[in-house]
Chain A
């Protein structure tokens, strides 16, 4: 047991902050932690809880006791599905490609113990948000069900125990599925012995699964709430029925929440069996596969062509050479390619979902119509949407908020090169501005062209979006200079262990909310014309861009100079 706990500590250590990082982050971390909880976690938790509450409440009235937990099951399926989709890359990285394996494999430790420790530390480190979501879903269910007597009389001590067990153990089955599939694939496949290849395949599979899911929802005719609830009550939702068979823990936990002790015991048994299968497979498959993994492709041994080498020797300015270096590293590192660059490509999927989900009310169609005719209020709201979306999407891709963190253990190179720190920061900012900005500009221009929005508003939106991207970028970089996470196991951990993307998001949400509040206030109470408010927003975005550039130049540079590894 002692060996197991020690192994867990070793496997989990790469995501823990170092003492130096903890010291640097103390006061700032507390303030930002409170902001993140208030602005991101609590709203998400309330949203999920409320959705389950509303569904349960409706199902109690419409479907009676039989189908009362269908809403809860639906939400838990979504959580489980996302755990599997995003769990693959984490399990693959922790099980097969972490550097601790170089030290662990030569030791006389049974593979079952290594895998057990890695499984436990993966669940502990990866599932804080998941447990929160499960907690809020279960709470939403208990309130929706319990406050509807006599139907809700099923809520009893078993439900409370099931809720506690559910919150603590819900990630077990999804992560075990990932572990089982990874172990089988790695044992039988020679093709997947390269970390980069695995990361790229996992990333593209994730996007493919998301697209398949959206297609499976069959929303081409829009989303009909009444039809959806009726299908839920009558078990006619094909996707949910399939998921019930895959995630068998979900219907069991849902029934246990409705008071069934047999379902609770079965739920525990299913989880224990899943862990047992993982450990059994580990003793048979793990060692052979993990030993066969190679580190890289191997340096080319063919004589490099002199003319080919010569074409590389071109002189560039400091800014351009750092820009090219950053871009190459981002594109060639799978973790950065997917989390920082590729993430900009998935937004059309969500836009499609939004468009079809609102088809029934035709909210978007009416708004577009008003926008085309130049309705003042709609133009104002559209301006605020462009501003908010540009800022939030820039913050979400973490290009800026991981700019210094990505330097990792070779952070010192920033300091010993004869190039001003601000030039290096500007190169990082330029990468973020080019990638985030070009994505947003393409979306805006495409949307305006397809929806027939006039040239003046389209041009204004592009300009506003660029300024919003610039200010969001410099703010993100400044936050990262305050306490970058420089000690990390691999690039995935560099991004996951770095909370700056959340800090950046929290501050962006506050700023965007303030801008929206002020703009609407000025329009409604101050009776200022929308054109004037649009100009003010543009000026504000410009001012913030300059302001955060100056903050980076004055304080960000000092922060970088102060860091000692």
Chain B
């Protein structure tokens, strides 16, 4: 469960990145977050993961206020950043074990998850090498495994498909669906409208820090008959 209530964020006191933003992501919901470049998607995700502090409003994850109970909130999130170039001098397996320690995942559980996910993402053979030697896609897969290792209730993913090969992208989408079916929440940003169209229960469209739409795709298409999602998105964001 994610609650984002009346949140505003300004950078350097000048650039307003988010203005009175409200949305919720319920249990069992898979929500796509769509918007043009510079619309405030990454800012929203950084506020959710506790990297940024809002100027106004409250951000809650699984009932924990991200700014008042940050450690509890963060411990219940599986977060994948937009840049997977993290701790490149560690071996893949060392990074996963580090994450296991950070989230206090028992050793046997770590092994089970890593065995399963590394096999699924075809990364097992690379785990003994330094992350520095990985391709962008391999790093992204490693971040996915790391984020899911402690079985978090809420997944927050910033452009998670970037750099993934078709099979891994398919696997990740399948994992996201499985996760929500178990009553958990997934919130992810994307530029690929087809992904949102096929995967999401709900989409949130933003532009310049303001929410333009929050609802199901079916409702959106009902309101805009004879138009595909791309046309609707371009019209909403003023690109057409």
Q: Which residues of A contact B (CB under 8 A)?
A: 20, 23, 296-304, 306, 308-310, 312-318, 320-321, 324-325, 328-329, 332-333, 409-410, 412-413, 415-420, 561, 564
In the bound assembly, the distance between CA atoms of A394 and B72 in angstroms comes to 36
Q: A298-B133, A299-B126, A314-B97 are in contact. Are A410 and B86 (CB under 8 A)?
A: yes
| Residues 92-136 of B at the A interface (beta carbon under 8 Å) | 93-94, 96-98, 100-104, 106-108, 110-111, 114-115, 124-130, 132-135
Within 8 A of A (CB), among B41-78: 46, 49-53, 70-72, 74-75, 77
Instruction: Tell me whether B125 and A302 are in contact (CB under 8 A).
Output: yes
Tell me which residues from 121 to 171 in chain B have a Cβ below 8 Å from any Cβ of chain A.
124-130, 132-135, 138
Given A318-B102, A325-B87, A309 and B125 touching (CB < 8 A)? no
Give the number of chain B interface residues (Cβ < 8 Å).
51
Known: A309-B111, A315-B104. 10 other contacts (CB 8 A): A297-B129, A297-B133, A300-B133, A315-B100, A328-B90, A329-B87, A410-B87, A416-B77, A417-B102, A561-B53
Say yes or no: A300 contacts B125, CB within 8 Å: yes
With A and B bound together, what is the CA distance between A409 and B138 in angstroms?
19
The 8 Å CB contact of B130, one of A306, A308, A325, A332, is: A332
Q: Is B16 an interface residue (CB 8 A)?
A: no
Known: A303-B124, A309-B127. A332 touches B110 (CB 8 A): no
Partner of A419, one of B102, B125, B132: B102
CA distance A561 to B67 in the complex (A): 11
From A20, A309, A418, give the contact of B93 (CB < 8 A): A309
The reply to whether the CB of B230 lies closer than 8 angstroms to some CB of chain A is no
Minimal Cβ-Cβ distance residue in A for B112: A313
B233 interface contact, C-beta 8 A: no
B93 adjacent to A416 (CB under 8 Å) = no
Q: Give the interface of B toward A (CB within 8 A).
A: 11-12, 46, 49-53, 70-72, 74-75, 77, 79, 81, 83, 85-87, 89-90, 93-94, 96-98, 100-104, 106-108, 110-111, 114-115, 124-130, 132-135, 138
Chain B residues lying within 8 Å of A296, measured Cβ to Cβ, are: 130, 132-133
**Which B residue's beta carbon lies closest to that of A565?**
B51
Tell me the complex Cα distance, A309–B74, Å.
27
Complex Cα gap A13–B147 (Å): 34
Query: Which chain B residue shows the least CB distance to A319?
Result: B101
**Contact between A325 and B90 (Cβ–Cβ < 8 Å)?**
yes
Of the A-B pairs whose beta carbons lie under 8 Å apart in the complex, a sample of 30, sorted by A's number, is: A296-B130, A296-B132, A296-B133, A299-B126, A299-B133, A300-B126, A302-B125, A303-B124, A304-B93, A308-B128, A309-B127, A313-B108, A313-B110, A315-B107, A316-B101, A318-B102, A320-B101, A325-B94, A328-B90, A329-B87, A333-B89, A410-B83, A410-B85, A410-B87, A412-B81, A413-B86, A415-B49, A415-B51, A418-B71, A564-B52
Say whether A314 contacts B107, CB under 8 Å: yes
B106 & A304 in contact (Cβ 8 Å cutoff): no
B169 to chain A, nearest CB (A): 20
Given contacts A299-B138, A321-B102, A333-B89, contact A304 B110 (CB under 8 A): no
What distance in Å separates the Cβ of B72 from its nearest Cβ neighbour in chain A? 8
Please report the C-alpha to C-alpha distance between residue A113 and residue B35 in the assembled complex, in whole angstroms: 41
Chain B residue nearest to A420 in the complex (CB): B71
Q: How far is the CA of A297 from the CA of B89 in the complex (A)?
A: 12
A320: B residues at CB distance < 8 A: 101
Taking the closest CB of chain A, its distance from the CB of B66, in whole angstroms, is: 10
Q: Which residues of A contact B70 (CB under 8 A)?
A: 418
CA of A407 to CA of B12, assembled, Å: 22
Beyond A304-B127, A318-B101, whether A328 also contacts B94 by CB under 8 A is: yes
Is B134 in contact with A416, judged by CB distance below 8 angstroms?
A: no
